[in-house]
Amino acid sequence: MKASVETNTPWEPNMDETTLELGTDRTSMLDTQIDALAANAVALLQRLVKTNSVNPLFPGIRRNDVVGGETACGQLLSNYLGAFGFVSETVAPDPQRANTVLRKAGAGGGRSLFINGHVDTVAPFRPSEWIEGNPWSGAIRDGNLYGLGATDMKSGLVAAALAAAAIEAAGLRLKGELQIHAVVGEETMSHELGTTAVLEAGFGGDAAIVVEPTSQPRPLSVTSVSAGNFNLQIDVKGYGTHSGNRGPSIRAGGEGNAAGVNAVEKAILVLQALQLLEQEWGINKSHPAFPAGIFSMAPGVFHGDAGVPSVGYLAEAATIGYLVWYPPNEKPEDIQAEIERHVHHAAQLDSWLRHNPPVLRWESHWPVFDTPVDHPLVHSLVTDRADVLGALPEGVPQVHSFNAVCDAAFIAKKAIPVATMGPGDLRHAHAVNEFVRLSEIRDCARILARTMVRWCGVA
């Protein structure tokens, strides 16, 4: 489950020329405009949530049932910000799945900034159990807005749009260019179709904020580092035969492997070996931004196949699927090598696996992002969060880790400083009756508006 956790890394103010004092007059103007525009922004979020934008590459989804939803969400954002002078452009490696880039040119002499958020969602779990029996209801109850994507992460894009609109409505002209990227494909790590495609098309800026939900451990936490992860599949071969051969295959005096080998049982040996390695990781893999035990190997899929449609056979093959989380201070290739060595050594202890070694398939890799906590962008977000929500008590960490993966990693790979901060608690994301607190959208917009002005400068 995605979540934000505290970092023990101290944050020290970096009061240099990168910090613009906003003044109470400007912040008051911004807050007044955010209040005035909030109702329309909520209506925009409802329209976005009511738009089915399930990622067409999500397992079990038929493309024709959902394709076009991501593009429609981008158009809704374009219509909203077009009224405030933003120019809309699209980048679409897949013509039916357009990324929308919203741009407001600066007056010159300032730094540019872009906000990134994805419009695709996962598929809904147990649709009939959602409020109104509809995962896309957009229903508002007790100050919460419900629906798939409300937290992850359409509300973040709406908060950014509201902040940008408030700056324009307040009559402030930024020196640096401001962009908002509404991208596709994040949920399936299709960054080549989404975030990376937008950056390689020439859009971007001097820094970026990804408005993923970060309201854990406290509302609108500022996060500057994430773990990396691998999707690992381990295939184990068996020797499928009639289940009646199980006795001689495992009993003393029997034929052993020649009588049959159950791939499921051999896969369990691999799983147990990696559980032991995972216990070691709980001791020897650490990072000051993360709690103990967060770096792990989580088996999510275990499948055995007899090769024929019958239970009367020993399994011919088995597969274990893992999500491997590793710390940002270790090289991904070292993590791969360590796991491969451990599986190899475990296989040497078994008479079948020794000659029929498991095959490891590294199917995807989501890299880390790690922005220094004293970077001016992080400093600005911390300062502006304190201005909106109040300063945190002395001794409480000001910056947190994002215990998840997101497109900030692919922004960082382009050498662009990036942080994450947005409305919503990811413990509610992807879940039945996903929701976001409407008050957090307004508070997030207040923080983002301040940081936009502070970072880009005012003409």
Of 3.40.190.10, 3.30.70.360, 3.40.50.300, 3.40.47.10, which CATH number belongs to 228-366?
Answer: 3.30.70.360
Span of 6-10, 64-68, 337-341, 355-359 with lowest mean pLDDT:
6-10
Q: What tens digit of pLDDT does each residue of 126-181 get?
A: 999 999 999 999 999 999 999 999 999 999 999 999 999 999 999 999 999 999 99
Whole-angstrom Cα distance, residue 456 to residue 168? 14
Strand order in the sheet with 228-237: 297-305, 317-326, 228-237, 359-366
* Residue 292 reports pLDDT greater than 90: no
Residue 221: closest CA among 368, 76, 335, 373: 373
Q: Which run of H or E residues covers position 360?
A: strand 359-366
Quick one: pLDDT at residue 378? 97
CATH 3.40.630.10 segments of the chain? 3-226+368-456
As annotated, the residues of the chain forming the CATH 3.30.70.360 domain(s) are 228-366
Q: Assign a CATH topology to domain 3-226+368-456.
A: Aminopeptidase (3.40.630)
pLDDT of amino acid 306: 67
Task: Give me the pLDDT at residue 18, please.
Answer: 45
Report the distance separating Cα 5 and Cα 245, nearest Å. Answer: 52
CB 26, CB 172: distance < 8 Å: yes
CA distance 165 to 79: 12
Please report which confidence band the pLDDT of residue 293 belongs to, taking 50, 70 and 90 as the band edges: confident
pLDDT 10s digits, 305-341:
766 555 567 888 999 999 999 999 999 999 999 999 9
The predicted pLDDT at position 39 comes to 98
| Residue 250 pLDDT | 75
Q: How far apart are CA 127 and CA 441, in angstroms?
A: 25
The confidence score (pLDDT) of residue 113 equals 98
Dump pLDDT digits (tens) for 444-455. Answer: 999 999 999 999
pLDDT of residue 20: 65
Report the run of H or E that residue 101 belongs to, with start and end: strand 99-104
pLDDT band (50, 70, 90) for residue 290:
confident
Please give the full DSSP string across 191-236, using - where no structure is assigned. TTTTHHHHHHTT---S-EEE-----SSSTT--EEEE-EEEEEEEEE
**Measured torsion, CA atoms of residues 268, 405, 95, 73, in degrees rounded to the nearest 10:** 120
